[in-house]
Structure 1
Amino acid sequence: MFLEQLKAFLAKVKGNSNLQQKLKAANSPEDVVGIAKEHGYEFTANKLSQLSKDELEGVAGGN
């Protein structure tokens, strides 16, 4: 469930420049979780923090 919620949130972020700016200003995983929650997505900072950079890029679709 965590990865599905994260993927859905990241898909929304890709098409929303305002949301992208909010995430760029985030200072912690907790900030990211709070922003996601405002938009109806549920995951924890603990789970987000456990992802490696490579795993996070994979979920985000890579660059």
Structure 2
Amino acid sequence: MSLEQLKAFLARVKGDSNLQEKLKAAKSPEDVVGIAKEHGHEFTSDKFGQLSEEELEGVAGGQCYMSPWIPSLKD
């Protein structure tokens, strides 16, 4: 349930448009956590707030819209 797992998941999301679409449909932080778990990444929703803007930009390249539950990634 680590921050490293969240970062690894975000890196995966960057290159997977199908996964990005799933995350756009997420209705809660728990939905995001569940989707990540389906793809082998385990973390809790409290980890979202531990990422800096720089980390989010670096992982997502400023291009990835994930979910309203990870506010820094909205377009």
Per the shorter chain, which TM-score range? Answer: 0.7 to 0.9
* 3-state SS in 1 of match to 2:37: helix
1:58 maps to 54
Q: TM-score, normalized by length of structure 2? A: 0.66
For 2:35, the aligned partner's letter is I
Gap change, CA 1:45 and 1:36, over 3 Å in 2: same
Matches for 1:4-23 after TM superposition, within 5 Å? 4-23=4-23
For 1:17, the aligned partner's letter is S
Unaligned runs of 5+ in 2: 63-75
TM superposition shift of 1:3:
1.4
The answer to which structure has the higher helix fraction is: 1
Say whether the 8 Å CA contact 1:3–1:59 is kept in structure 2. Answer: no
1:28 maps to 28
For 2:6, the aligned partner's letter is L
Size of the aligned set, in residue pairs, is: 59
**Percent of pairs identical after alignment?**
71
Unaligned runs of 5+ in 1: none
Q: TM-score, normalized by length of structure 1? A: 0.77
Superposition misfits of 4+ residues, deviation over 4 angstroms: none
Residue by residue over 1:42-61, the C-alpha shift from the partner in whole angstroms, topping out at 9 and shown as x without a partner, is: 0012333xx07x73x43322
1:37 maps to 37
